[in-house]
A and B are shown apart, each in its own frame.
Chain A
Amino acid sequence: MSELTTDQIADEMFNLVKEYAGKKRFKASDLTKEIIAKHGDSVNKKDCKAALRVLMDSGRCVYGYAGGSFISLPGEEGAAKQ
């Protein structure tokens, strides 16, 4: 398999968060583990760290607060509406 670019890893992470939204929550390390499990030795933790930064800087995901810093889709200001 060819080497993944940082953007490609970020995209895969985003797809995971989107796919499992409402079903499973991921922390940064969970996403890293998923990516490494899928791609084996062709990616490492450093690549994933860089990809996470790209993902968060792009605004496609935000850090959640309740019960841990889970990577979430941006949405309502949760508690404001309860």
Chain B
Amino acid sequence: MADHKLRETPLLDELKKGPWPSFVSDMKKMAERKPMVNDLLGQLELSYKEKKGHWKHGGLVGVMGYGGGIIGRYSDAAKEFPACAHFHTVRVNQPSGWFYTSAALRELCDIWDRHGSGMTNMHGSTGDCVFLGTTTDELEPIFAELTEKDWDLGGSGSDVRTPSCCNGMARCEYACYDTMDACYNITMEYQDELHRPAFPYKWKFKFSGCPNDCVASIARSDLSVIGTWRDEIRIDQAAVKEYADSGMEIRANVIRKCPTSCMSYDGKEITIDNKNCNRCMHCINVMPKALRPGTDTGATILIGGKAPIIEGALLATVLVPFIKMNKDDDYQEFKDLMERIWDFWDEHGVNRERIGECIERVGLGNFLEAIEVDPLPEHVHHPRTNPYIFYEEYFEEVDDAEAQKA
């Protein structure tokens, strides 16, 4: 039992009730052996009473040489709750697809139990395995033990944030490229950019294997890689029949839901006008046994997704309609593109401006020109509707026009 007095938390105790698992019950158990969690509960109870948070801004804490991976956190009620006066976060770079073994999880738990509060987020919003609550003195020992076991810190601040991906080919038939390999490869390529912030602001990569986008890359990443295919949807007509025989209403639930009306069903077989298909995934989602993405697969790259701060939320916009995510050449085409984008951002970005906002400020057309990507109709919903065009050249003399004709 605890040799410290357990905090009374009548308000939080209300959250022990109900069928959904309770973080309060879990924390109360931890509080018996962790004074830090006991005081965390005390401070949280105070927040519930006052309807106000009690954490201050981060400070200058980190592990030697890294600018990312640690978030400093201090209580503004330290006198009352001394055990959680310092309560820093450690972001540990998760494995691709969040796959673990029990042994790996225990390894992480043991390190964290020795050096911190024992509370975690599995996982943080960006994807890291997040350790919540430790003191500055513990940071170097934690880092040493993590790296000893081949774990490393993730990103924070104005750097490449920890990339994340869906489980892709490991356990999904929709994956149009190897998201887990791409995520690992890109994470390893940009270790310096991940640990040593050198950008105007954060940069998030997310890798989804198909347009269902299970890691929300289009909404939550500056650089979104969404798997797709260029050829025909593969159809197994025998499986179509099985679905029909099992009572599926194919016309109502598949054909009529197709956003491009490119499908038909004659009561026996499905026919698809693939030239008209926009790869939305609906029919494949409903009939995974009968319909599969094609085999000429790759990805669509989109840029600039973000939440509201500062200039408003943005969904990422199409940058490259189709790219082969080629493992064999180490994703060179992708990396070359990245270098050109970051050079541009270095030159034109301003502090705390995400790339999506930067592109809106300088103009998508100018951005594309700078990074040597040809403008395409796929980049827009429709061409501009206003005539306020920034023409960049005009003729001074009749002779100039004649010269150009010649």
Q: Answer yes or no: A and B touching, Cβ < 8 Å.
A: yes
Which residues of A come within 8 Å of B, CB atoms? 27-29, 32, 45, 49, 52-53, 56-57, 59, 62-69, 72, 74-80, 82
Which residues of B come within 8 Å of A, CB atoms? 56-62, 64-68, 71-72, 74, 85-86, 136, 157-159, 192, 196-201, 346, 351-352
Looking at the assembled complex, report how far the CB atom of B198 sits from the nearest CB atom of chain A, in whole angstroms.
Answer: 4
- B346 contacts A79, CB within 8 Å? no
| A–B complex contacts, Cβ < 8 Å, 14 sampled | A53-B65, A53-B196, A62-B62, A63-B66, A63-B157, A65-B58, A65-B157, A66-B57, A67-B352, A68-B352, A76-B59, A77-B136, A78-B60, A79-B57
7 further interface pairs, Cβ-Cβ under 8 Å (given A63-B157, A82-B56): A64-B60, A74-B60, A76-B60, A77-B61, A79-B56, A79-B59, A80-B86
The docked-state distance in angstroms from the alpha carbon of A75 to that of B65 is: 15
Which chain A positions have C-beta within 8 A of B66?
56, 63
Q: Which of A28, A68, A72, A79 contacts B74 (CB 8 A)?
A: A79
Q: Which of A63, A66, A75, A80 contacts B67 (CB 8 A)?
A: A63
- A28 contacts B59, CB within 8 Å? no
Which chain A positions have C-beta within 8 A of B200?
27, 29
Which chain B positions have C-beta within 8 A of A68?
157-158, 201, 351-352
Can you name the residue of chain B whose Cβ is closest to the Cβ of A81?
B59
The docked-state distance in angstroms from the alpha carbon of A28 to that of B158 is: 10
Can you name the residue of chain A whose Cβ is closest to the Cβ of B73?
A79
Can you name the residue of chain B whose Cβ is closest to the Cβ of A72?
B60
The docked-state distance in angstroms from the alpha carbon of A69 to that of B155 is: 12
Query: Known interface pairs A27-B351, A68-B352. Does A56 touch B196 (Cβ–Cβ under 8 Å)?
Result: yes
Looking at the assembled complex, report how far the CB atom of B375 sits from the nearest CB atom of chain A, in whole angstroms.
Answer: 28
Which chain A positions have C-beta within 8 A of B346?
29, 32, 45
The docked-state distance in angstroms from the alpha carbon of A42 to that of B159 is: 27
- B198 contacts A27, CB within 8 Å? yes
Among B65, B72, B86: residue with most chain A CB under 10 A = B65
